[in-house]
């Protein structure tokens, strides 16, 4: 199975398997449809008086800033804060500062990125305009712990939350109440300046307040909700975190304090845009397309098993079919040393449940090109996945139980390797049923 291939635009890379070739091309279609180039407005805000400053944060930050510079009528000053390896090598744009930081866990550069963003906001005056280009990943990339909280406390709490099975909205609710920049606080720091926020959304439901924990967006969660989430998942958080979540001073700012009544908060790309583009492409290729939506948040392996059952059922009518879905699944980590990601766990759960069913193929990838903490976007599955694994002495169920889906698919050569894509609307999953000739 030739899985280590990539696609560009409308070009389909040759493969030994037509189904795999199609799946790779469809993933490329999904990514291209939500790229900064496709999604960014053609005209940037132009203040009548004062400065336009652009701050780009998230996994798509470098590409969003590139497009902003290209479309601006005047030279742009600003800041990029992105994940290591997600900016072009040797990036040196006049007036643009670049900070690469840790993800999914914050590091010292995350502290530096947050402080620089706050400094820029504080430097603005009435008549100035802050354009925030926001994409997923910013919750870790911008770390400004509240008083009494250390970076180590934030790192420990983030790890516990990410391993607990909590949804991204729940995780970001807690993060907002432990931060001096999240939950609208960056907008407060901008004072009388106008703030515009353009968002590539990576959260199910596309609530802008949860994308990168909404630095410039009013927050409707509360300290009590954050405490309830810690209790719900039995998070053994550091005592400093417990104290911070009990301190009324760490409540997020009221919406009317943000000065956002006339602000522009716009989601410019989302998972459903990618699914829509792929559904159109799939129909053109002769598939009967079923979209299960862009808000799926179940445990990854369980969702994979349920989609396998659906594919088996639909395969009975002999039609060429394509089953699409998006969202952000969860993974409950039982092996801290395991290597995998949401999409790889989904794919392995699906492969086990398909049990070699003929004519059914699948791809599950993160649209940012990085699934979890590994170097793969995700993985592909085919009718021979389990047979080839067993021929290599691999135990699929054991790999899944130990959160080692990455090692499983790496051994088979079935990882999807794209590198950072420059966008991020979270998970993309496609199950292809070849049908009868």
From first to last of the 437 residues of the chain, give the pLDDT tens digit.
334 333 333 333 333 479 999 999 999 999 999 999 999 999 999 898 899 999 999 999 999 999 999 999 999 999 999 999 999 999 999 999 999 999 999 999 999 999 999 999 999 999 999 999 999 999 999 999 999 999 999 999 999 999 888 988 999 999 999 999 999 999 999 999 999 999 999 998 899 999 999 999 999 999 999 999 999 999 999 999 999 999 999 999 987 666 544 368 999 999 999 999 999 999 999 999 999 999 888 899 999 999 999 999 999 899 999 999 999 898 888 999 999 999 999 999 999 999 999 999 999 999 999 998 889 999 999 999 999 999 999 999 999 999 999 999 999 999 999 999 999 999 999 999 998 86
3-state helix, strand, coil in the chain (%, to 5): 40, 20, 45
Apex 267 CA angle, 191 and 45, nearest 5: 50
Q: How many CA atoms lie within 13 A of 13 on its CB side?
A: 15
Q: What is the DSSP letter of 3?
A: -
CA 307 and chain centroid, separation:
21
Q: How many CA atoms lie within 13 A of 188 on its CB side?
A: 16
pLDDT at res. 328: 87
Rounded to whole angstroms, the Cα distance separating 314 from 311 reads 5
Rounded to whole angstroms, the Cα distance separating 139 from 124 reads 23
**What single string gives the DSSP state of each residue in 132-146?**
EEEETTHHHHS--BP
Q: Where do the H-state alpha helices sit in 79-213?
A: 108-122, 138-141, 151-162, 168-176, 185-189
Rounded to whole angstroms, the Cα distance separating 111 from 357 reads 49
pLDDT at res. 2: 35
Residues linked to residue 364 through DSSP beta bridges, in sequence order:
379, 429
- How do 378-381 and 415-416 pair as beta strands? antiparallel
Rounded to whole angstroms, the Cα distance separating 33 from 349 reads 28
Q: Where do the H-state alpha helices sit in 12-84?
A: 18-33, 36-39, 61-71
pLDDT at res. 16: 43
pLDDT at res. 259: 57
Q: Which helix (H) or strand (E) holds 378?
A: strand 378-381
Q: Which helix (H) or strand (E) holds 396?
A: helix 396-401
pLDDT at res. 11: 32
CA 163 and chain centroid, separation:
16
Rounded to whole angstroms, the Cα distance separating 412 from 389 reads 7
Identify the structural domains of the chain with CATH numbers, from first to last.
18-34+271-433 (3.40.1480.10), 36-144+179-218+253-269 (3.40.50.10180)
pLDDT at res. 223: 97
pLDDT at res. 359: 95
pLDDT at res. 257: 64
| Cα dihedral 105, 159, 119, 258 in deg (nearest 10) | 130
pLDDT at res. 165: 84
pLDDT at res. 225: 97
Q: Any idea which residue has 């305009």 for tokens?
A: 129
């Amino acid at each position: 199975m030739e899985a280590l291939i990539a696609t560009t635009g409308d070009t389909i890379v040759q493969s030994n398997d037509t189904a795999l070739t199609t799946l790779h091309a469809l993933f490329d279609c999904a990514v291209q449809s939500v790229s900064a180039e496709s999604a960014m407005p053609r005209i940037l805000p132009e203040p009548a008086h004062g400065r336009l400053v652009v701050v780009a944060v998230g996994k798509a930050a470098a590409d969003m800033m590139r497009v902003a510079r290209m479309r601006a009528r005047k030279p742009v000053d600003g800041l990029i804060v992105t994940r290591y390896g997600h900016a072009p090598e040797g990036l040196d744009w006049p007036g643009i500062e670049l900070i690469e930081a840790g993800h999914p866990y914050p590091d010292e550069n995350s502290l530096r990125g947050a402080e620089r963003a706050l400094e820029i906001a504080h430097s603005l005056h009435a008549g100035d305009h802050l354009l925030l280009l926001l994409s997923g990943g910013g919750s870790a990339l911008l770390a400004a712990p509240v008083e009494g909280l250390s970076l180590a406390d934030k790192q420990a709490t983030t790890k516990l939350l990410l391993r607990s099975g909590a949804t991204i909205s729940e995780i970001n609710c807690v993060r907002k109440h432990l931060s001096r920049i999240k939950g609208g606080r960056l907008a407060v720091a901008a004072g009388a300046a106008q703030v515009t926020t353009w968002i590539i959304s990576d959260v199910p439901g596309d609530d802008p307040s949860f994308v990168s924990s909404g630095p410039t967006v009013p927050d409707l969660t509360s300290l009590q909700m954050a405490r309830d989430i810690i209790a719900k998942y039995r998070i053994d958080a550091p005592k400093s975190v417990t104290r911070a979540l009990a301190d009324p001073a760490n409540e997020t700012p009221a919406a009317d304090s943000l000065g956002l009544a006339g602000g522009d908060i716009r989601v410019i790309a989302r998972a459903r845009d990618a699914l829509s583009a792929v559904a159109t492409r799939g129909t053109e290729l002769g598939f009967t397309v079923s979209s299960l939506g862009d808000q799926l948040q179940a445990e990854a392996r369980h969702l994979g098993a349920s989609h396998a059952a659906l594919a088996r059922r639909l395969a009975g009518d002999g039609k060429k079919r394509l089953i699409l879905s998006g969202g952000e699944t969860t993974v409950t980590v039982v092996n801290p040393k395991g290597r995998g990601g949401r999409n790889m766990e989904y794919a392995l759960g699906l492969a086990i449940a398909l049990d070699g069913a003929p004519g059914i193929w699948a791809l599950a990838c993160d649209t940012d090109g990085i699934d979890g903490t590994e170097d793969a976007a995700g993985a592909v599955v085919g009718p021979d996945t389990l047979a080839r694994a067993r021929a290599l002495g691999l135990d699929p169920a054991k790999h899944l139980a130990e959160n080692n889906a990455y090692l499983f698919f790496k051994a088979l050569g079935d990882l999807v390797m794209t590198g950072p894509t420059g966008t991020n609307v979270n998970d993309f999953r496609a199950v292809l049923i070849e049908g009868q000739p």
